[in-house]
Amino acid sequence: MSKIEVKDLNLWYGDFKALKSIDMDINENEITAFIGPSGCGKSTMLKCINRMNDLVEDCKIKGLITLDGEDIYQSNYNVNTLRKRVGMVFQHPNPFPKSIYDNIAFGPRTHGINKKSTLDEIVERSLKQAAIWDEVKDDLDKSAISLSGGQQQRLCIARALSVEPEVILMDEPTSALDPISTGKIEDLVIELKKQYTIVMVTHNMQQASRVSDKTAFFLTGEVVEFGDTLNIFSKPEDKRTEDYITGRFG
Ligand SMILES: Nc1ncnc2c1ncn2[C@@H]1O[C@H](COP(=O)(O)OP(=O)(O)OP(=O)(O)O)[C@@H](O)[C@H]1O
Ligand SMILES: [Mg+2]
Higher-confidence position of 249 and 19: 19
How much is the pLDDT for 247?
Answer: 84
Overall average pLDDT of the 137-148 stretch:
97
pLDDT at 177: 86
Using the predicted structure, report yes or no on whether residue 229 has a pLDDT greater than 70. Answer: yes
Residues with CB under 6 A from ligand 1: 13, 16, 18, 36, 38-44, 56
Encode pLDDT of 69-101 as tens digits: 999 999 999 999 999 999 999 999 999 999 999
Residue 53 maps to a domain: yes
**Ligand 1 atom showing the smallest separation from residue 221 Cα:** 14
What is the span of the domain harbouring residue 15? 2-245
Give the distance (Å) from ligand 1 centre to CA of residue 177. Answer: 22
In a domain, 200, yes or no: yes
Q: Residue 94 domain-assigned?
A: yes
pLDDT score for 250: 59
- Note the ligand closest to the C-alpha atom of 15: 1
| 250 located within any domain | no
- Taking the CA of 19 as reference, the closest ligand is 1
pLDDT of 176 = 86
Tell me whether residue 153 is in a domain.
yes
69 occurs within a structural domain: yes
40 falls within a domain: yes
Region 226-246: what's the mean pLDDT?
96
Atom nearest to 203 CA in ligand 1 = 25
Hey, what's the torsion of the CAs at 49, 51, 53, 55, to 10 degrees?
A: -160
Residue 163: pLDDT band (50, 70, 90) is very high
Per-residue b or e along 67-98, where b marks 16 or more CB atoms closer than 10 Å to that residue's CB = beeeebbeeeeeeeebbbbbbbbbbebebeee
Look at residue 11 and tell me if it is in a domain. yes
Q: How far is the CA of 113 from the centre of ligand 2 (A)?
A: 33
Return the pLDDT at 93: 92
Number of structural domains the chain divides into:
1
Residue 80: CATH number of its domain: 3.40.50.300
